[in-house]
């Protein structure tokens, strides 16, 4: 497997990305192509006492930042890692492209350059969401702010395929985010989606999942529109951070609790690691004809390594092929819905 | 002020509701009317060594549960606390109606019996959401799963009025839930709402607020559609419960951390109380011509008392009047939007 790595995007670029890539060569047995400033990459490899002639590098002279409009930036910046990486995947010169740079640029490059699988109405961003029990597959995280029931129905299938690949889930249960368990609950969009999911024989539909039950991990796959998914993911992170901050403040408020906190430190750390995004990899753009992964913008080497690991698992399990197979049936429905 | 109290709805009915009502007479100086089974109420008052002849009771022979369709149930069950309580408010025989029973029945009774304020497109459910800093006003929580930008624009004003009343906020800042801070982010609905809020001179618009920033309390009032608001509120509760559960498990896993936990107990309790819904009152149906409060279904006497307290503050601050004033301007816009 060949993995193209963007070394220009993210808070800790390029070093974390390079370190993660080197670990992946070593531990996962993949080949890597580093995309970015050749001189910087070579100098970092030299620091790591590695022979840079043996590692593929494609020089990129420019980058696309979060502030730029993805579509126009992509047209102008042909030599950015996004355009180069997506083209490598499209031309099958790489099996995956991974970046911790601009989400918008990655989505655009994935959708427009790598391209949608025929029959798939909209690609979606998918993530392993940490729950009390086990990680749960959540999609869409923001690739589609405006959706139709038919998109969500496909998300359900794609999520199932991905859950099987990543977590070896047998017959994964699929839930629909909603504001009540009854099928008449929610907006028109969610009521109609509920109907479609119920009728969909290709998935194991559990029913609606309310906000309160999301963190308990009652299902294997959780489906919603990109607006809701983005709020769910980020709010979870926000609440966890806020709560941990309050706990810390509170424990530091008296000598007694300070001593208590010291003794309980390891236990509290264990909890933090459960909600730690580092080990869960990144968000994958699913529904396109290739593997494109968005690692967290603040990824360190460990987090970026897990994003590569996730691409590897997706590759090994042939997730793209199984979605292609499913999408064939949708190919004729496509016209009327779009 | 006269408060009508439903003693039939909620997990701890009727005793918590009666105890809370008695405390409110005592501490808040309000008059109460208990709605429910007269015999049960009288017997509870007797247990509390109170003279039941001095306390108003209206006997209700039937109740509406969560499983019933609100509109049809309300038509059939004229002697339920929902219908009786809402009519008392409509006829100005009570200044507020409070229930911890079916949310659907309460919304329906509030909207159809008490009635919308002229010019208000849709009433909304509003709550004080606990954040790291201070409670923040959040609406809508689920009264409207399908919304239009014009509704959200009115929610912003109603939220501001309520924030001023409940928390004495001067010129409260209003945020819009969204998946990015730029005004071009989010669904069409949220992009259009952003524009309206920006142009609305009656509010102090802060801009978009992402999921991650919701728990930090960056604004005084946070506006969203009822679907999103419901997910935000319940997910926050779910994450907090999940995290506290993990912490407890983790602290019990070794002797060292067990001792630590014992010493840190008070500190941890303080944090729990910060996220404790009991002290924040209930959810209020705002935009109707009266005060109707939904206390949490699992309210104990303390939580129910705070819901009464909230109704009292809303009454004292004349929130309904200030919304009526604002709504006059909207009265002519109403026709075209609905």
**Residue A147: which domain range?**
133-277
Nearest CA of chain B to the CA of A1: how many Å?
A: 34
Same domain, B252 and B179: yes
Nearest to A136 by CA among A126, A144, A145: A126
Same domain, A58 and A184: no
pLDDT value of residue B4: 98
Nearest CA of chain A to the CA of B176: how many Å?
A: 12
pLDDT value of residue A15: 95
Determine the 3-state secondary structure of B9 from DSSP. coil
Determine the 3-state secondary structure of B336 from DSSP. helix
Nearest CA of chain B to the CA of A259: how many Å?
A: 7
Same domain, B192 and B89: no
Nearest CA of chain A to the CA of B117: how many Å?
A: 24
pLDDT value of residue B277: 63
Q: Is residue B307 part of a domain?
A: yes
User: Is B233 an 8 Å CB contact of chain A?
Assistant: yes
Nearest to A309 by CA among A98, A61, A10: A98
SS3 for A26-95 is HHHCCEEEEEECHHHHHHHHHHCCCCHHHCEEEECCCCCCCCCCHHHHHHHCCCCHHHHHHHHHHCCCCC
Q: Residue A53: how many CB atoms within 10 A of its CB?
A: 8
pLDDT in tens, A214-238: 999 999 999 999 999 999 999 999 9
Same domain, B273 and B291: no
The radius of gyration of chain A from alpha carbons, rounded to an integer in Å, stands at 21
Q: How many Cα atoms sit within 13 Å of B99 on the Cβ side?
A: 30
- Give contacts of A185 with chain B, Cβ < 8 Å: 145
Decide if A242 and B216 are in contact by the 8 Å CB cutoff.
yes
Same domain, B90 and B168: no
A window 78-137, beta carbon within 8 A of B: 131-132
User: Is A208 an 8 Å CB contact of chain B?
Assistant: no
- Burial state string for B174-194 with b = 16 or more CB within 10 A and e = fewer than 16: bbbbbbbeebebbbebbbbbb
What are residue B4's phi and psi, to 5 degrees? Answer: -90, 125
Decide if A254 and B266 are in contact by the 8 Å CB cutoff.
yes
**Domain boundary at A229, A249, A277, which?**
A277
pLDDT above 70 for B134: yes
Per DSSP, chain B holds a count of helices (H) and strands (E) of 11, 11
Residue in A145, A223, A233 to test binding to B, most B beta-carbons within 10 Å: A145
Determine the 3-state secondary structure of B292 from DSSP. strand
Pairing of strands A221-223, A173-177: parallel
pLDDT above 50 for B244: yes
Determine the 3-state secondary structure of B284 from DSSP. strand
Q: Indicate the DSSP class of residue B117.
A: P
Domain count along chain A = 2
Same domain, B147 and B253: yes
Q: Residue A26: how many CB atoms within 10 A of its CB?
A: 9
Q: Is residue A168 part of a domain?
A: yes
Instruction: Calculate what percentage of chain B has a pLDDT beyond 70.
Output: 96
B window 295-334, beta carbon within 8 A of A: none
Specify the higher pLDDT residue, B88 or B237: B88
| Among the partner residues B231, B247, B271, nearest to A232 by beta-carbon distance | B231
pLDDT value of residue B263: 81
Mean pLDDT taken over chain A:
91
User: Is A286 an 8 Å CB contact of chain B?
Assistant: no
pLDDT value of residue A338: 47
Residue in B213, B267, B271 to test binding to A, most A beta-carbons within 10 Å: B267
Residues near A76 by beta carbon (within 8 Å), at least 6 away in sequence: none
Give the CA distances from residue B330 to residues B132, B150, B268, B335, B338, in Å, rounded to whole numbers and listed in that order: 35, 10, 47, 9, 12
User: Is B175 an 8 Å CB contact of chain A?
Assistant: no
**Domain boundary at B249, B277, B305, which?**
B277
| Among the partner residues B226, B239, B257, nearest to A239 by beta-carbon distance | B239
Six token digits for residue A154: 């496909």
Specify the higher pLDDT residue, B15 or B246: B15
Q: Is residue B127 part of a domain?
A: no
Q: Is residue B244 part of a domain?
A: yes
Contact (CB, 8 A) for A250 and B254: no
pLDDT value of residue B266: 78
CB pairs under 8 A between A and B: 200
Instruction: Work out the average pLDDT over B175-201.
Output: 95
pLDDT value of residue B338: 47
Q: How many Cα atoms sit within 13 Å of A229 on the Cβ side?
A: 29
pLDDT value of residue B284: 95
**Domain boundary at B228, B258, B277, which?**
B277
Determine the 3-state secondary structure of B33 from DSSP. strand
Q: How many Cα atoms sit within 13 Å of A200 on the Cβ side?
A: 29
Secondary element (H or E) of residue B197: helix B188-199
Decide if B227 and A257 are in contact by the 8 Å CB cutoff.
no
Same domain, A114 and A156: no
Q: Report the chain B residue with the minimal C-alpha distance to residue A142.
A: B179
Q: Residue B309: how many CB atoms within 10 A of its CB?
A: 20
pLDDT above 70 for B295: yes
User: Is B235 an 8 Å CB contact of chain A?
Assistant: yes
CA angle A33, A36, A37 (to 5 degrees): 125
Contact (CB, 8 A) for A126 and A291: no
Place of tokens 């589609």: A144
User: Is B48 an 8 Å CB contact of chain A?
Assistant: no
Burial of B334 per CB tally in 10 Å (0-12, 13-18, 19+)? middle
Rounded to whole angstroms, the Cα distance separating A103 from A296 reads 9
Q: Indicate the DSSP class of residue B102.
A: -
Q: How confident is the model at residue A213 (pLDDT cuts 50, 70, 90)?
A: very high
Rounded to whole angstroms, the Cα distance separating A94 from A107 reads 17
Rounded to whole angstroms, the Cα distance separating B82 from B60 reads 10
pLDDT in tens, B1-36: 999 999 999 999 999 999 999 999 999 999 999 999
pLDDT in tens, B100-120: 999 999 999 999 999 999 999
| Among the partner residues B228, B254, B267, nearest to A231 by beta-carbon distance | B228
Decide if B235 and A240 are in contact by the 8 Å CB cutoff.
no
Q: Is residue B282 part of a domain?
A: no
Window from A113-117, B63-67, B270-274, B286-290 with minimum mean pLDDT: B270-274
pLDDT in tens, A293-311: 999 998 999 999 999 999 9
Same domain, B183 and B112: no
Same domain, B144 and B272: yes
Contact (CB, 8 A) for A58 and A84: yes
Q: How confident is the model at residue B243 (pLDDT cuts 50, 70, 90)?
A: confident
Same domain, B141 and B259: yes
Q: Is residue A232 part of a domain?
A: yes
Q: Is residue A127 part of a domain?
A: no
pLDDT value of residue A329: 77
Please count the residues of chain A: 338
Q: Is residue B68 part of a domain?
A: yes
Same domain, A294 and A331: yes
Q: How confident is the model at residue B51 (pLDDT cuts 50, 70, 90)?
A: confident
Determine the 3-state secondary structure of B219 from DSSP. coil
Rounded to whole angstroms, the Cα distance separating A154 from A162 reads 12
SS3 for chain A is CEEEEECCCCCCCCHHHHHHHHHHHHHHCCEEEEEECHHHHHHHHHHCCCCHHHCEEEECCCCCCCCCCHHHHHHHCCCCHHHHHHHHHHCCCCCEEEECCCHHHHHHHHHHHHHECCCCCCCEEEEEECCCCCCEEEECCCCCCCCCHHHHHHHHHHHHHHHHHHHCCCCCEEEEECCCCCCCCCCHHHHHHHHHHHHCCCCEEEEEECHHHHHHCCCCEEECCHHHHHHHHHHHHHHHHHHHHHHHHHHCCCHHHHHHHHHHHHHHHHHHHHCCHHHHCCEEEECECCEEEECCCCCCHHHHHHHHHHHHHHHHCCHHHHHHHHHHHHHHHHHHHC
pLDDT value of residue B264: 78
**Which domain CATH number covers A33?**
3.40.718.10
Determine the 3-state secondary structure of B124 from DSSP. strand
Same domain, A14 and A139: no
Pairing of strands B124-129, B136-139: antiparallel
List B36's β-bridge partners, or say none: B59
Q: How confident is the model at residue A332 (pLDDT cuts 50, 70, 90)?
A: low
User: Is A210 an 8 Å CB contact of chain B?
Assistant: yes
Decide if B270 and A250 are in contact by the 8 Å CB cutoff.
yes
pLDDT above 60 for B159: yes
Contact (CB, 8 A) for A71 and A63: no
Pairing of strands A291-294, B2-6: unpaired
Contact (CB, 8 A) for B185 and A231: no
Contact (CB, 8 A) for A78 and A97: no
Specify the higher pLDDT residue, B333 or B301: B301
Nearest CA of chain A to the CA of B215: how many Å?
A: 6
């Amino acid at each position: 497997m060949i993995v193209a790595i963007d070394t220009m995007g993210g808070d800790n670029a390029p070093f974390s990305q390079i370190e993660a890539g080197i670990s992946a060569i070593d531990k996962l047995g993949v080949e890597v192509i580093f995309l970015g400033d050749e001189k910087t990459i070579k100098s970092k490899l030299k620091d790591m006492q590695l022979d840079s002639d043996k590692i593929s590098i494609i020089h990129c002279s420019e980058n696309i930042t979060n502030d730029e409009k993805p579509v126009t930036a992509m047209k102008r910046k042909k030599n950015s890692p996004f355009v180069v990486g997506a083209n490598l995947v499209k031309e099958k010169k790489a099996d995956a492209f991974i970046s911790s740079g601009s989400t918008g640029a990655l989505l655009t490059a994935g959708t427009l350059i790598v391209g949608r699988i025929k029959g798939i109405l909209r690609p979606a961003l998918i993530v392993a969401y940490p729950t009390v029990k086990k990680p749960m597959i959540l999609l869409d995280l923001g690739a589609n702010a405006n959706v139709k029931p038919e998109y969500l129905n496909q998300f359900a299938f794609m999520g199932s395929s991905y859950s099987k690949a990543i977590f070896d889930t047998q017959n994964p249960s699929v839930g629909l985010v909603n504001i009540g368990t009854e099928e008449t609950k929610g907006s028109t969009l969610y009521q109609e989606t509920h109907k479609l999911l119920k009728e969909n024989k290709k998935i194991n539909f559990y029913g609606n999942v309310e906000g309160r039950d999301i963190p308990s991990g009652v299902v294997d796959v959780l489906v919603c529109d990109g607006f809701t998914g983005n709020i769910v993911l980020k709010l979870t992170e926000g609440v966890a951070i806020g709560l941990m901050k309050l706990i810390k403040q509170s424990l530091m408020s008296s000598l007694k609790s300070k001593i208590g906190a010291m003794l309980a430190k390891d236990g509290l750390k264990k909890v933090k690691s459960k909600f730690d995004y580092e080990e869960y990899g990144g968000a994958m753009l699913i529904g396109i004809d290739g593997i494109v992964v968005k690692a967290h913008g603040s990824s360190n080497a460990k987090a970026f390594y897990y994003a590569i690991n996730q691409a590897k698992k997706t590759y090994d399990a042939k997730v793209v092929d199984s979605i292609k197979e499913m999408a064939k049936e949708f190919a004729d429905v496509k016209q009327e819905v779009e």
